[in-house]
Amino acid sequence: MATHVKTTINNEAVEFLCEPHESLSSVLRERLHLTGTKEGCTTGDCGACSVMLDDRLVCSCLVLGVETEGMSIDTVEGVAKADKLHPIQEKLLEHAALQCGICTPGIVVSAKALLEKKADPTEEEVRFWLAGNLCRCTGYDKIIRAVLDAASVLREEA
Amino acid sequence: MSGQTSSEYKYIGTRSIRPDGADKVTGRANYGADFFLPGMVHGKILRSPLAHAKILSIDVSAALAMPGVLSIATSEDLPDMNAGTESAGEGEVDFYDFSCNVLAREKVLYHGQAVAAVAATSEAIARSALDKIVVDYEELTPVLDLLGAQKSDSPLLHKNQTTEGPKGKGKTPSNIAKQMMLARGNVDEGFSEADVVVEKTFISPIVHQGYIEPHACVVRTNESNQIDVWCSSQGHFMVRSFMARLLAMDVSNIKVTPLEIGGGFGGKTVIYLEPVAAILSRKAGRPVKMVMDREEVFRATGPGSSSIVKVKVGAKSDGRIVAMEADITLNAGAFKGSPMMPSMMCVFTPYTCPNMKVTGKDVVTNTPKVAAYRAPGAPQSHLAAECVVNEIAKRLNIDPIDLRLLNAVDEGSPTIYGPKFKAIGLKAALTEARSHPHYASALSDNQGRGVACGFWFNVGLQSSATINITESGKAVVITGNPDIGGSRASMALMAAESLGIPLDQIKPIIGDTESVGYNDVTGGSRTTFASGGAVIKAAENLIQDLKRRAAKLMDIDVELVQWIDGQAVAPADLDKKPLSLARLARKAGATGGPLTATATQTARGAGPSFAVNIIDVEVDKETGSVDVKRVTVLQDAGKAIHPSYVEGQMQGGAVQGIGWALNEEFVYNEKGVMENPGFLDYRIPLASDLPMIDTVIIEVPNPGHPYGVRGVGEAPICPPMAAVTSAVNDAIGCGADFQLTELPLSPVKVLDAAEKLMG
Ligand code: FES
Ligand code: FES
């Protein structure tokens, strides 16, 4: 039996129907066509499906759609504001920190969560925070540099 | 990271923002699984629970009767296929085997092989319908061991397969599909002259390309036998031709629209789902979407070959290498066709040594059919060759880079497979490595350093490009290779340079199989070289046309018109105003119609690329775990069109090689079931495992390309396994006798070796 769920997604009220077994990543992608959230494994190992759930960073493949009743979900689609990329997105592009780009949405969401918690992370802190976001293309070098660079931009803006 | 703009060029060599960037950082870009059609239903694959068995019968009736189930496919739905290899794209293909790999016939040859498929109104229904399909198997003994498979009493995978050798086919059936030899000079004489000889065998496991995006497609068929496909792949033309062949259709009946690709590394130069989805769609009368899960990706796609490589090298006491011999065995998986040949051709290519002999075997086992993986076959053979060369250096007490410089190939050196090298950058890369601060830096306790070099040919093959000029004078550049790592950016840079117009006037796009001429796969590091070459040619054709039209408008002879910085310019004394591209575009109606130009080529002169690595590791003597401390990668890129994406290839390739050396491995139980089919247990490198990866781009222009481009995607994965293995052996104090010779260098193995050395 499908369940009726009311949530807030990227600051907009969104209601959907979903089966009890459906993951949040599947609801976002298949039912709401918010395909910026990617699925690389659906077992919580790759981080491509990273979203914010009530301001907590989660793998949306490990959350059930029905669990999100009354909660607020922020996905990669909500990161850029009115045609302006977020500094993390800008820096990822400047540093050429994506090759295929499939890991990128998850990295954007995850890095943003880090910089909101910690404005001045060390390289090691960025590496450990992003250890849950697999990237097979880049070897991470440019991703780490981009996030550190974005952190300094955000500190200046603050 | 500083921009290095060569004065020769205005756009090439700059670090522009990729044209598809905004869509990729915002989640807007559509990858394989992100595509939907109205009325679309879901397909799922039933996979073999056994690694080796005869299929006695398949009963789909109960599954078909389930509400919501729309169609079922088995190999009976695929046309008959003749066995025998044919050349296709980058390599050779046996379409009978290919068809069996898409849906098994008669036998299953690995755990996870596709046996049947279901399309249903939901994924959940499709999954439960799979449980209702009854397959009767006669279980056979799985052949899992690469050595055991070769024994005459081993169970056979294919009863009709005999060994193909240099002198034709063997008489008795065998799991050895092919046996080859390459040689020059006389190795026996070489070894008899040598002052020092080292012989050692290195083993590497089955590994996966590990792209983060699982295979996915949507296929729609219609009543007049047209098929539309949307999928991610390393070549939509490849998808079209393979589908046509497997479904016995003409390519013109199939249109493939490429979606963004989430990594491939060679693993998406073949297809698995698309023909099955086409059958399901035809039978159901509905579009069918199929998406693999990660476990399916591990069990039934890729992987790269496991290997046993014995290398013997002899050198004079002054360091001159006088004999090199290798015996390479590669696992093909369930069907013949490992990258044995390239593995053999690459193994000693960095060296001038006059006496070489390389033998190779292609062996089938009950594991998934291997697919190309970045410089297919080369990392495995380089692992052995480069480690043995490092041992020689240690025995002779010569610096390993000096030893390589003494023996390195250069312009004019012959290769074991025939042609002589044109300009190449191996010596330049080695020289830079020798003087790099990394190489002079001190090591601490429990640390070790390894160096290695690597070689990959790179290919050219067929490419097409079209440039359409908009009414406003902008250039839409259409190519036909999926953008796997920033190729739109490099196409735009080459088009801007050739046309002399700013980058923001260029819009590079990737056409579907019907809107641009044929293109071979995105593989062999060919895209920037060959498709870029087609773009440059198309731009030249366009400029010819623009000059003709300008001449008409200026009313002068076409010979007098020059194309300079995006404008048609007449000689100064004629007092004619230059005509910009925008102006010529506006006037196109009056000068002969819309502006468009096309070029195609079978690209020749792909410049080979050499890479050199310096890698430092630290071994924890308590746990045996290895920490990668410092990595410097150097590579000849010919000309780096977009230096950041060249560095990205170098860094990504190095890290894949590091993962291959330290963590990655398919673990099978005795039944032939992979026990680690997920990213938790098949551990690819994480951000926290690594240091920064320093890059040094060497630019020895490739004479076969207008801007000197060499392919850069594959060479970077050739040296790291040997560099890491040498570094770990160094760190535990092996001296000139490496004890760790089997990958991955897991903590258990490292600890064992370290303890043995300590006595
Ligand atoms: S898809 Fe959720 S972690 Fe991989
Ligand atoms: S850019 Fe391809 S996985 Fe990260």
> What is the DSSP annotation of A40-74?
S-SSSSS-TTEEEETTEEEEGGGSBGGGGTT-EEE
The pair of structure tokens assigned to B52 is 């080796």
Question: Which part of chain B has CATH 3.90.1170.50?
Answer: 32-140+214-261+268-300
Let me know: does B717 contact B379? Beta carbons within 8 Å. yes
The predicted pLDDT at position A34 comes to 98
Whether the complex's predicted ipTM surpasses the cut of 0.90: yes
Q: In 3-state terms, what secondary structure has residue A16?
A: strand
Mean pLDDT, rounded, for B128-141: 98
One of 1.20.1300.10, 3.40.50.300, 3.60.20.10, 3.30.365.10 is the CATH number of B461-603, namely 3.30.365.10
Cross-chain Cβ contact B262/A126 below 8 Å? no
A46 lines ligand 1 (CB under 6 A): yes
The tokens for B733 are 């104090």
Domain B307-458+607-757 in CATH 3.30.365.10: yes
Q: Which atom of ligand 1 is nearest to the CA of A134?
A: 4
List CB contacts (< 8 A) between B29 and chain A: 101
Comparison of pLDDT for B91 and B576, the residue scoring more = B576
| pLDDT score of B105 more than 70 | yes
> pLDDT for B352-377, tens place per residue?
999 999 999 999 999 999 999 999 99
Interface contact flag, B260 A101, Cβ < 8 Å: yes
Pocket of ligand 2 (CB under 6 A): A 98-103, 135-138; B 212, 263
pLDDT score at B2 = 34
User: What amino acid is encoded at A128 in this protein?
Assistant: F
Q: Tell me whether residues B1 and A145 touch, CB distance under 8 A.
A: yes
Residue closest to B668 by CA, chosen among B142, B151, B189, B290: B142
Question: What does residue B627 show for φ and ψ, rounded to 5 degrees?
Answer: -110, 125
Distance, CA of B63 to CA of B42 (rounded, Å): 15
The answer, yes or no, to whether the previous bond of B379 is cis (omega within 30 of 0) is no
Residue of A nearest to B488 (CA): A99
pLDDT in tens, B661-700: 999 999 999 999 999 999 999 999 999 999 999 999 999 9
Using the beta-carbon criterion (under 8 Å), do B687 and A138 form an inter-chain contact?
Answer: no
CA atoms within 13 A on the CB side of A147: 30
Per-residue model confidence (pLDDT) at position A1:
80
Asked if B688 reaches chain A (Cβ–Cβ under 8 Å), the answer is yes
* pLDDT tens by residue, B153-177: 999 999 999 999 988 899 999 999 9
pLDDT tens, position by position, A128-156:
999 999 999 999 999 999 999 999 999 99
| pLDDT of B7 over the 70 cut | no
Instruction: Tell me the domain boundaries of chain A.
Output: 3-78, 87-157
For range B130-140, the mean pLDDT:
98
Q: Is B16 on the interface with A (CB under 8 A)?
A: no
Per-residue pLDDT tens for A88-110? 999 999 999 999 999 999 999 99
Cβ–Cβ contact B21 with A under 8 A: yes
Say what the pLDDT of residue B3 is. 36
For chain B, the average pLDDT equals: 95
> Could you give the C-alpha distances from B522 to A107, B232, B339, B708, in angstroms and in order?
26, 12, 17, 19
* pLDDT band per the 50, 70, 90 thresholds, residue B89: low
> B19-31: per-residue pLDDT in tens?
999 999 999 999 9
CA distance B189 to chain A (A): 44
Quick one: pLDDT at residue B312? 98
Does B4 score more than 80 pLDDT? no
Listed in order, the ranges of chain B carrying CATH 3.30.365.10 are 307-458+607-757, 461-603
B368 in contact with chain A, both atoms CB, cutoff 8 A:
no
This prediction has a pTM of 0.97
Residue whose structure tokens are 């760190």: B731
A87-157: CATH topology is DNA polymerase; domain 1 (1.10.150)
Which ligand places an atom closest to the C-alpha of A60?
1
Give the chain A residue nearest B642 (alpha carbons): A96
**What's phi and psi for B200, nearest 5 deg?**
-155, 150
Lowest average pLDDT, out of A42-51, B171-180, B458-467, B740-749, goes to: B458-467
Which range among A93-102, B254-263, B436-445, B600-609 shows the weakest confidence by mean pLDDT?
A: B600-609
Q: Classify domain B32-140+214-261+268-300 by CATH number.
A: 3.90.1170.50
A40 neighbourhood in chain B, CB within 8 Å: 212-214, 262, 294, 679
The alpha helices in B302-419, defined as continuous H runs, are 340-346, 378-396, 400-407
**pLDDT for res B87:** 76
Report the residue from A39, A105, A139 with minimal CB separation from B652.
A139
Q: For A100, which of B263, B678, B687 is closest by C-beta distance?
A: B263
Beta-strand runs (E) in A19-142? 50-53, 56-59, 72-74
| % chain B with pLDDT above 70 | 99
Q: For B643-662, write each residue's pLDDT tens digit.
A: 999 999 999 999 999 999 99
Tell me whether B260 touches chain A (CB under 8 Å): yes
Instruction: Choose which residue among A42, A64, A103 to substitute to test ligand 1 binding: the one with the highest number of ligand atoms within 8 A of its C-beta.
Output: A42
Neighbours of A69 (CB within 10 A): 11
**Region for B285 from its dihedrals, namely left if φ exceeds 0, alpha if ψ lies in -120 to 50, beta otherwise:** left
CA distance B604 to B462: 9
The continuous run of DSSP H or E covering B451 comes out as: strand B447-456
pLDDT of B637 > 50? The answer is: yes
What pLDDT is attached to residue B90?
Answer: 61
Helix (H, G, I), strand (E, B) or coil at B552: helix
Q: Cα(B65)–Cα(B120) distance, rounded to whole angstroms?
A: 11
Strands B461-469 and B475-479: antiparallel
Considering only CB atoms, A98 lies closest to which of B24, B211, B265, namely B24
pLDDT at B278: 98
- Looking from the CA of A142 toward its CB, the CA atoms found within 13 Å total 30
Average pLDDT (B601-624) is: 94
Q: Give the tokens for residue B350.
A: 């960095």
Question: B679 and A41 in contact by Cβ < 8 A?
Answer: yes
Burial bucket for residue B435 (CB in 10 Å: 0-12, 13-18, 19+): exposed
Instruction: Taking each helix axis as running N to C, give the angle between helix B487-499 and helix B532-554, from 0 to 180 degrees, rounded to the nearest 10.
Output: 30
Categorize the per-residue pLDDT at B6 as very low, low, confident or very high, splitting at 50, 70 and 90: very low
Chain B nearest-CA residue for A103: B212
Number of A–B residue contacts, CB under 8 Å: 186
Mutate to test the pocket of ligand 2, among B23, B24, B208, B212 (most ligand atoms within 8 A of CB): B212
**Taking CA atoms, what residue in A is nearest to B691?**
A141
- Report whether pLDDT(B211) > 50: yes
Q: Give SS3 for B699.
A: coil
Q: Is B701 on the interface with A (CB under 8 A)?
A: no
Q: Are strands B506-510 and B475-479 parallel, antiparallel or unpaired?
A: parallel
Note the CATH number of domain A3-78: 3.10.20.30
Tell me the average pLDDT across B479-502: 94
